[in-house]
A and B are shown apart, each in its own frame.
Chain A
Amino acid sequence: MKKLFLIGLMISLSTKLFAQGYQIGDVATDFRLLNIDGNYLSMSDYEDIKGVVLIFSCNHCPFVVAYEDRMIELHNEYAPKGFPVLAINPNDTIAEPRDSFTKMIQRAEEKNFPFDYVIDADQTIYPQYGATHTPHVFLLEKVDDEFIVAYIGAIDDNARDASAVQERYLANAIDALLAGEEISRTITRAIGCTIKVRN
């Protein structure tokens, strides 16, 4: 009985230790990942930006699909102000074939994504960020040549219905950075699809 309890305890501890990743103010790693245009892309490739709206995303997740139009709008609104959206697919494409690179290109064409969409093919980037689900946003401010984590979490407070949104968490955070003000809400949460790894 005691042994069973210990096993249970170990399982619960291991799930808690898993919750790692960046905190607000941390320096986020850059990367070099394959983009849907066939080229490798790093955040440092963007010129004249103030930061990056990095969104862990994918093709299949209904919560991502519900947010795609809003991701496009965010890019169109904020890329000219120095904050382009960059979507990154962290899912293993064998565990979730609907998130394959080919299907990423297809989806980007269907929706006419104005933003870049890269694949974390060997799944080395998302654990460093501590991304756990899609969509999961990391708003990064470029300071000197480093990317500083400014906001982590949700796009807004209503995944299902864009017209019922009361608080645009992400847009408010970008607005605060642009205005040189403090971000009022630096961490929010939302339901999303677990990042898929191979069994």
Chain B
Amino acid sequence: MAIHKSAFLVFLLLFAFKSNAWDLEDYTEARVSVMDFDTFAPRMTKTNDSIYVINFWATWCAPCVREIPVFEQLHAQYKDQKVKVLLVSLDFPDHLESRVIPFIREHQLKSEVILLDDPDANRWIPLVNESWTGAIPATIIYSREFRDFYQKEFKFEELENIILPLL
């Protein structure tokens, strides 16, 4: 119950500050919105002219942590070219304050981070992608013209080779 309360509080704070710009100057202000799958789902189906890179990760997942700098580099290099990176943490919500936020601060993450809190993974995993077995890291890349899903750890060049033709 306490978890849900604090999650709700984080949510309220987000709205209170209307902090649309995720690019944080002050990492002591790092906040992560916590949401269930249905709230998150529209983020996978936007139809504007941006290219979306959505990565599912967790602080406990070593290959994910190794891969985070790749997404950070993508964000840094291509954010002005309508490439939007979203890092979806699958950490347990009771680790938000103890692990996820400290991780964001420590690595000074510039990409947007949310925490997906939805225990019924069997329902939502196939809605992300039918071929996803549930292993992370996993990544969706989509634009109006393109959509693909990758259950793998990216090297920067691989990721860039997918993004470049979409620009």
Tell me the A residues contacting B by CB distance below 8 Å. Answer: 1, 4-5, 7-8, 11-12, 15-16, 18-19, 61-62, 96, 132-133, 136, 153-154, 157-161, 164, 169, 188-196
User: In the complex, how many residues of chain B place their beta carbon closer than 8 angstroms to a beta carbon of chain A?
Assistant: 31
Chain B residues, CB < 8 A from A4: 161, 164-165
* A-side contacts of B86, CB under 8 Å: none
Q: Tell me if A158 and B120 are in contact (CB < 8 A).
A: yes
In the complex, chain B residues 122-167 whose Cβ is within 8 Å of any chain A Cβ: 122, 125-126, 131-137, 148-153, 158, 161-162, 164-165
Among B126, B137, B149, B161, max chain A CB count under 10 A is at: B161
A190:B162 contact, CB within 8 angstroms: no
Max chain A Cβ within 10 angstroms of own Cβ: one of B63, B90, B121, B152: B121
Chain A min CB distance to B62 (Å): 7
- B69 contacts partner chain A, Cβ-Cβ < 8 Å: no
Known contacts A1-B165, A15-B151, A19-B133; A153/B60 CB under 8 A? no
B64-108 vs A, CB cutoff 8 Å, 1 = contact: the mask equals 000000000000000000000000001010000000000000000
Besides A1-B165, A5-B165, 12 other A-B contacts (C-beta < 8 A): A1-B164, A11-B158, A15-B152, A133-B133, A164-B119, A189-B126, A190-B134, A192-B135, A193-B61, A194-B63, A194-B136, A196-B63
What's the minimum C-beta distance from A112 to chain B, rounded to whole angstroms?
24
Residues of B near A154 (CB, < 8 A) are 121-122, 134
Give which listed residue, A12, A61, A132, A189, contacts B121 with CB less than 8 A.
A189
Alpha-carbon distance between A159 and B90 when the two chains are bound, in angstroms: 12
Given contacts A4-B164, A96-B62, A159-B121, contact A189 B150 (CB under 8 A): no
A164, B120: Cα distance in complex, Å: 10
- CB A134 to nearest CB in B, in angstroms, measures 9
State A157–B134 Cα separation when bound (angstroms).
13
Q: Is B136 within 8 A of A191, CB to CB?
A: yes
Which of B90, B131, B135, B164 sits near A195, CB closer than 8 Å?
Answer: B135
- CB atoms of B162 and A11 under 8 A apart: yes
Q: Across the interface, do B161 and A8 meet the contact criterion of CB distance under 8 Å?
A: yes
30 A-B contact pairs sorted by A residue (CB < 8 Å): A11-B150, A12-B148, A12-B162, A18-B151, A18-B152, A62-B58, A62-B60, A62-B92, A96-B62, A132-B133, A132-B134, A132-B135, A132-B151, A133-B133, A133-B134, A133-B136, A154-B134, A159-B119, A188-B122, A189-B126, A190-B121, A190-B122, A190-B125, A190-B134, A191-B90, A191-B121, A191-B125, A191-B134, A194-B135, A194-B153
